[in-house]
Structure 1
Amino acid sequence: MTNLTERFVIGRIGKPRGLKGELRVFPLTDEIERFQNLKSCYLEDQQENILAELQIAKCRIVHDQVSIIFKNYDTRDLAEKLKNQFISVARSEAIVLSEDEYFVADLIGCEVYDQNKGYLGIVSQIQKNSANDVVIVCKSGEKDLLYPNLRNIVQQVDLAQGRIDVLLPPGLYEIYR
């Protein structure tokens, strides 16, 4: 069984815009609209340590770009200190998923089994790419195996059991192992 993620990173803070503490935020979520109703969030560093809980004074979305002003960070100098940090929300604040959907972050720690090759290893990381996410599977003493997180490859995800069943395309396994 895998431990489900407690928080989800939804954005990376960019540089300030203007003099009143407005910050550009680069969304790391498919649901950019989720920022509009956000009242608070966590500030995290690159190691996922919570640095602070921040209250949102103002948020706007223009042409798929997010800008946020945090309470008590209402000058450019104060806002500059938040640059390159991450914004996360608690699982309870996450978007509601349908029955056949899952959060990609919850895949980390799951065991992966291929229908033909058997046990492949444990998901260690998910890389976001422009075309699709790439799942990185590690197994002690072997090279990491990468596969695209696509419906025709991923046959079943059972988060309760911490198991992912896949059907790797011909030749993919042999590239890595």
Structure 2
Amino acid sequence: MSDTTRENELVCVGAIAGAFGVRGEVRLKSFCADPEAIADYAPLSTEDGSRQFTVSLTRAITNAFAARMSGIDTKEEADALKGLRLYAPRNRLPALPDDEYYHADLIGLLVVDTGGNELGRVKAVMDHGAGDLLEITVPGNSSILLPFTMEAVPTVDIEAGRIVADPPEGLF
């Protein structure tokens, strides 16, 4: 993928979990390393780009923010957005250090073992609180969860489109 293509690529930065109150505010979940930074990346758009929103965080609430979104003035309009994922162009996001990656960059990468044997492809990146896990689709359409640690995943080569894994014995 060229740098130009990557610059224009959209990255999911948050999602709307429903209405907050009765005056059109939404419950906004941020997927950003600095959760409050989500408002700095606005305008945010839907994945297909059909709608764009400016965002104003009004206060922190449990596991989210109460926020005002442009064009959303009623509880009913806010409720209608429940589940909507919000995206920002990559070029508005901060550059990452060499050992950090946007989840979107990992999806679809080929996973090989340290001997070069193909293990599968990254289907998803999950974080259940104890560290990231890579969900890898293996031949036969089953999935394996691999800890995303330096020990289990010593090499991530975004440019080459592959990950070298050294999985725990018996995982694959």
The equivalent of 1:135 in structure 2 is: 134
* Distance of aligned partners of 1:40 and 1:62 in 2 relative to their CA distance in 1, 3 Å threshold: same
The equivalent of 2:16 in structure 1 is: 13
The residue identity in structure 2 corresponding to 1:16 is A
Q: Indicate whether 1:26 and 2:24 are aligned.
A: no
Q: Tell me the TM-score normalised to structure 2 length.
A: 0.83
The equivalent of 1:59 in structure 2 is: 57
Q: 2-side partners of 1:172 and 1:10: how far apart?
A: 32
Q: Indicate whether 1:43 and 2:43 are aligned.
A: no
CA RMSD of aligned residues (A): 2.5
Q: 1-side partners of 2:69 and 2:118: how far apart?
A: 46
Shift of 1:41: 0.2
Contact in 1 for aligned 2:133/2:145 (Cα 8 Å):
yes
Q: Deviations over 1:100-131 (max 9, x none)?
A: 22112211121111125722122222233221
Identity %: 26
4+ residue segments displaced more than 6 Å: none
Contact in 2 for aligned 1:134/1:146 (Cα 8 Å):
yes
* Distance of aligned partners of 1:51 and 1:81 in 2 relative to their CA distance in 1, 3 Å threshold: farther
Shift of 1:168: 0.8
Q: 2-side partners of 1:17 and 1:146: how far apart?
A: 35
Count of residue pairs the alignment pairs up: 168
The equivalent of 1:80 in structure 2 is: 79
Higher RCO, 1 vs 2 (CA within 8 Å, ≥6 residues apart): 1
Gaps of 5+ in 1: none
Q: How does 1:68-147 map to 2 (within 5 A)?
A: 68-116=67-115, 118-141=117-140, 143-147=142-146
The residue identity in structure 2 corresponding to 1:8 is V
Q: Tell me the TM-score normalised to structure 1 length.
A: 0.81
Q: 2-side partners of 1:7 and 1:155: how far apart?
A: 27
Gaps of 5+ in 2: none
Question: Which secondary structure does the structure 2 equivalent of 1:20 belong to?
Answer: coil
The equivalent of 1:154 in structure 2 is: 153
Contact in 2 for aligned 1:21/1:79 (Cα 8 Å):
yes
Q: 2-side partners of 1:17 and 1:139: how far apart?
A: 41
Q: Deviations over 1:3-55 (max 9, x none)?
A: 859211121212222232111112223320212424310134xxxx4441112
